[in-house]
Every structure is written in structure tokens, then in C-alpha cells.
Structure 1
Amino acid sequence: MGRRKELTEEELKIIKKAISDEEAFEKFFRNCYLKNLRPATIEYYKNEFHGAKKLISKELVECSQKDIEELILQSKKLMKVTTINTRLRALRAFYNYLYKDNLIDNNPMKNIKLLRDRQKTIETLDNKEIELLVKTIRKQKTFIGFRDETILLVFLDTGVRLSELVGIEVDDVRDNKIIIRRTKNLFERVVYLSDTTKEQLKRYITIRGNVETNKLFINHDENELKPHSIQTRFYKYGNEANITKRVSPHTFRHTMAKRMIMAGVDAFTLMTILGHSDMTITKRYVNLWGPDIEQKHKQYGALKGLKL
């Protein structure tokens, strides 16, 4: 009769077979592949899990909220807040999946919030810096130089991400627009070109000619151009032009966003053009350049010119 009572929590834990980190990773990444997450996202998860395990003396599946809190305290001695938050986002995705599928009893990330961080000023290039950069690139008088100038115009005109730019194929260019297929959120979108960029792309495609790869931008060996190569070259151009700001594809994206806002584009349109999943980042752009918008309001306000 004494054995008919319900099992205690401790007894239930003995019966339930605990999952190992290796098994948990296998299931988690299988789910990632089923959801068709980008290879870069999956690699990000792997790197962050590997980094977290170096700072935790137990299996990740055995961690409690207290363990995660200790991880944060240790991490603050070693890395920046943004880096810690990047790791916490990965761990949150991992533990949320395990808890939802009943692979762990408690979610150690349930009450863990991202660390507060100061919002840093986003650097953008002004007209003089853009013109100086173009002038520096044009000094080469080579195919690579002309290609890089074309890439710069596409970045500034469309605000595409680096990963999106290298994914563009020749057939994706349609007159005054480009179809962006390799997007962060997996939703294809269309970006539009000014007449200047449209004509530049036409000339580039003519000079590029027919090669084995379908990718729009190619290297000197006529193979697909890699993201790192683009980053390296623009970093070099920035140094040659004596531009003290960071010269990178992301800086070009920020520059395009600011110029669009200053031209009067609304936040929803900008969100669509940039391919943001929600309005959060777009709103940050608008808020950051508020003083410039204030100046624009003074210049073009609805009551300006009225004799009241």
C-alpha cells in the first residue's frame, strides 16, 4: 500500500533520462535546418555555445538561472556588453527550444534580460567624404576599380547588406531595380536605382562580359566575389582617402538611411527598402538624426511662407 503514492520530484528526476549537451545540440540544430535558417545564423549559434561552455563548468543543459547569472558576471570582465548580449540571445534561443520540447524541466533564461548598453552614435559619411572616396577609387583605372565604384554606388543607392550584395546575380538586375533574394529574413524584396547607378551598372555588366559564375560582382579571376574581399578593399580606400570614420558596407547602409530620412522618406517606406523585420531599428535611425530633421522642419515646415 505504501508504494501507491505519487513519486516525489526527486524520484521523477531519477526516472527521467537527462539529455546531454551533445544530444541537445543535435536536436536544436536539426530544428534550425528544418526552419531553413541561414548558414551564418547556424554558425553564430555554434560559436556562441562553444564560447559559453568555456566559461561554465557544467553541461549547458544542467544550467540554472544562477549559472547564467554567474556567466554574465564572468563575461563582463572579459568582453563588451554588446558581445555578452549577442551570446545571451543565442542561449535564449537554445533554452527556449529545449523547454518548449520538454527536453529540460526549467528554462534558465526565463527571467534573464539583456544588459543595458549605451546607444552609440551611428557613423555616416557626408557628401565630401563620399566624393573623396569615389575619387580615390577612380585613381586605379582598372576593372577592379570600376567594379568597386559600382559596388559603392549600389550600396549608397539601395542600402543593401553586404551578404545581400554578394548574392545578387546578373539576371536580378532589371532596368532600374534589383531583386534581392539572399535576404536576412528570407523574404525577397526589390530595391530601386537612381539613373546614375542604373547607367553605371549597365556599363559594368558590359565590361564584366560572360563568365562562368552568375554572380553580378566578380574578382580578378572571374570568380564569385567574397564578402571579406569587399570589406578589406573599402577599408583600404578609406585609409588612402584619409577618412577618419569607419569605411565599410554597414557605414554605407547607415549613410543611405540617413540621406533617405533627410530627403523626407517615411519610416515605413525606409523599413521596407532596408529589409527590416520590424520598425525598431528604423525608429532608432529616425531618433538619432532628430536634430537634422528639426533643421529640415525649420526649412520646409508646412507654415513656412504663409502670411498669417
Structure 2
Amino acid sequence: MLLKFAYQDFLEDRKFKNTTKTNIKNYEMLLGKFVDYCIENEVVNAEDITFSHVRQHLMICQEKGDKAGTINTKLLRIRAFLNYMVECEVIKNNPAKKIKMQKDDVKIDVFTDDQIRQMLNFYRRIKQKEKSYFAYRDYMIIVTILGTGIRRGEIINLQWSDVDFVNQSISIFGKSRRKETIPITEKLVKELSGYQTFCKQNWGDISDFVFVKRGNTQMTENALMLIFKYLSQKMNFKDIRVSAHTFRHTFCHRLAMSGMSAFAIQKLMRHQNITVTMRYVAMWGNELREQNDKFNPLNNLEV
């Protein structure tokens, strides 16, 4: 089977299986580069892909600066494609299965309290001076992620009908494609209520969506990424990425540091598997130890 047709057939299969648009884009970008590499090296049929082709492509990516986590993500995309080729009986075995995942020393950065204050104060000043909806919107996006840990796709799809001001909760469609309800604090309820009032004053008939762009239309993921890109340029923080996911990690970090149980964190973060949650808790274990050494009640007792 011609590789270019096999690749298109695979993408159509993912769409048919209701894979998210974000994952489809990831396949197009990451798997597409592998397909381009194969064709450039005269591998035009899917049956001709070998272990060496996969490994060589990943080695080139590594030489260009890809870290272990990125290499592993690309390998998973290639494996998925070749597994599909096995299912379609185009090939007998998946050559990418023989390639082991790279060891990834994951260090997840989170914002400090000072950094959070700087970002929020930046938008507060603009909002107060210019009465700008967009400054208020971007401020509330940060506050909402910090208060809930919801993902960027969930932020842009959040509707006012999903916000229950009375019962202090929001409903969202997560990665599992099912509706989930999570609690929100009284403080976030007040912030969202004030923001809704501002939207009504600004737009008149407000959109169904909580966060909108010019023309009162739903935001896109690209528009959200541009917000954080702009904020990153303004803040110029060293060695930390300003993104929706960093705010989500910060939310998780604060829960872990507070002593909340892993089970409760899993429910709020909506991790399908608690092993993912435990990885976060273990990652911040040294920091927990430092906090315990500093604040343990035995420190001030003569025993």
C-alpha cells in the first residue's frame, strides 16, 4: 500500500473513531514528518518500513534537539500508525515495537506566588486604566485555570450554562468525552459572577461561551496560545514556559503541597489513572520534605 495513502487512511480512521481535533493535529504534525522522511528516502510503500527507518528518523530528531519526552511522543504516534497497518493486514508485524522508550527525567516547572501576582497585576492595571474586556478576559482565564486546573480545550469550550453559581460547580467535557462536574470555591464564584456582569455591560447579549474573542465569538486554541505567548513576552520569566498547561501544573502542585490526598487530587485533575497523579506527587516529594523540615511542629519543641 502506498505510504501516502496509508497515512491518509489512518487519519480518516482516527477521525471516524472521534479522536479529538488536537490529537488529529498532533498526528498530522508528528507522524507527517516521519512519512515525509520515509518518502524522501525512497520508502514509498508502508510494507517497506523497517526498524531502521523508525530508529534513524528518531535519531535525526534527537540530533536536532528533541528531548526524550518529545522523542517518546513521536515514537508512540508512529507505533499507533503501524499498529493500524497490522490491523488492516498491510503488514504482519509492527517494527516500531522493538524500539524502547527513552528514559525521561521529567521536571515539571510551576509558577511561584510572585510570578502569579505579577501576571495578574499586569492585567489588573490594564483593566483599571482602559476598562478593557480583553484584559479582564485574560485575567479571568488565568484565575479560572488556577482555581480549577482545567485544560486549554476545556477553557475555550466552557459555557455559561456549565457554571452553577448556586451549587458552586462547573461542568466540563474532559479527555474521556464525558461530562464531569467539579467543585469551585466561593472566591472563584464571585470572580466569575463579576466577570459575567462586565460581559453583559460590554456586549449586551452575552455569548454562550465564557471566553470569547473579537466579534463575541468562541475562542480557538490558537487564540488562547497567542494570549500566553504575548504574556510570556511581557513577563520575560527565566526557565519557565508561560502556558495554560503550566497553570494546570501549578494548580496540581499547590494541591499536593497542601497535603491533599492523591485520590482527591486525581478527582480534581480528572486523571483517568491514579498512577499519573502519583507521578506528580512523587515528583514534588523533595519539596514536601523541605517544607516538612521547615515547618514541622517538632522543630520548636524540646523532646
Q: Identify the TM-score tier after normalising by the shorter chain.
A: 0.7 to 0.9
> How big is the shift at 1:94?
0.8
CA shift in 2, pair 1:302/1:187, >3 Å: farther
Q: 1:115 aligns with which of 102, 116, 119?
A: 102
CA shift in 2, pair 1:96/1:171, >3 Å: same
What residue in structure 1 maps to residue 14 of structure 2? 32
The CA distance in 1 between the partners of 2:215 and 2:92, in whole Å, is 55
Q: 1:179 aligns with which of 153, 157, 171?
A: 171
Q: Structure 2 counterpart of 1:285, which letter?
A: Y
What residue in structure 2 maps to residue 74 of structure 1? 60
The CA distance in 1 between the partners of 2:233 and 2:2, in whole Å, is 49
> How big is the shift at 1:174?
0.8
* Contact 1:137-1:149 at 8 Å conserved across structures: yes
Q: 1:45 aligns with which of 27, 40, 46?
A: 27
Q: Secondary structure at the match of 1:110?
A: helix
> How big is the shift at 1:301?
6.5
What residue in structure 1 maps to residue 192 of structure 2? 201
Per-residue CA deviation, residues 105-149 of structure 1 (Å, 9 max, x unaligned), is 221122122222332x22211222212221111111222222222
What residue in structure 1 maps to residue 78 of structure 2? 91
More helix by share: 2
Q: 1:217 aligns with which of 211, 234, 242?
A: 211
What residue in structure 2 maps to residue 106 of structure 1? 93
Per-residue CA deviation, residues 206-231 of structure 1 (Å, 9 max, x unaligned), is 22125474211112431212333333
What residue in structure 2 maps to residue 289 of structure 1? 284
Q: Secondary structure at the match of 1:247?
A: coil
What residue in structure 1 maps to residue 160 of structure 2? 170
CA shift in 2, pair 1:238/1:307, >3 Å: same
- Structure 2 runs not aligned, ≥5 long: none
Normalising by structure 2, report the TM-score.
Answer: 0.84
The CA distance in 1 between the partners of 2:235 and 2:92, in whole Å, is 57
Per-residue CA deviation, residues 89-108 of structure 1 (Å, 9 max, x unaligned), is 11100111221332212211
Q: Structure 1 counterpart of 2:246, which letter?
A: T
Q: Structure 1 counterpart of 2:216, which letter?
A: E
The CA distance in 2 between the partners of 1:296 and 1:187, in whole Å, is 37
CA shift in 2, pair 1:216/1:113, >3 Å: same
> How big is the shift at 1:34?
3.0
Normalising by structure 1, report the TM-score.
Answer: 0.83
> How big is the shift at 1:33?
2.5
The CA distance in 1 between the partners of 2:105 and 2:250, in whole Å, is 21
The CA distance in 1 between the partners of 2:31 and 2:2, in whole Å, is 14
Q: 1:127 aligns with which of 96, 100, 113?
A: 113
- Structure 1 runs not aligned, ≥5 long: 1-18
> How big is the shift at 1:306?
9.6
* Contact 2:266-2:274 at 8 Å conserved across structures: yes
Q: 2:257 aligns with which of 250, 262, 272?
A: 262
* Contact 1:212-1:223 at 8 Å conserved across structures: no
The sequence identity of aligned pairs, in percent, is 25
The CA distance in 2 between the partners of 1:230 and 1:34, in whole Å, is 27
* Contact 1:211-1:222 at 8 Å conserved across structures: no
CA RMSD of aligned residues (A): 2.6
Aligned pair count reads: 288
Q: Secondary structure at the match of 1:106?
A: coil
Q: Secondary structure at the match of 1:102?
A: coil
* Contact 2:30-2:74 at 8 Å conserved across structures: yes
* Contact 1:156-1:252 at 8 Å conserved across structures: yes
* Contact 1:150-1:197 at 8 Å conserved across structures: no
The structure having more radius of gyration, on CA atoms, is: 1
What residue in structure 2 maps to residue 148 of structure 1? 138
Q: Structure 1 counterpart of 2:156, which letter?
A: V
Q: Secondary structure at the match of 2:217?
A: coil
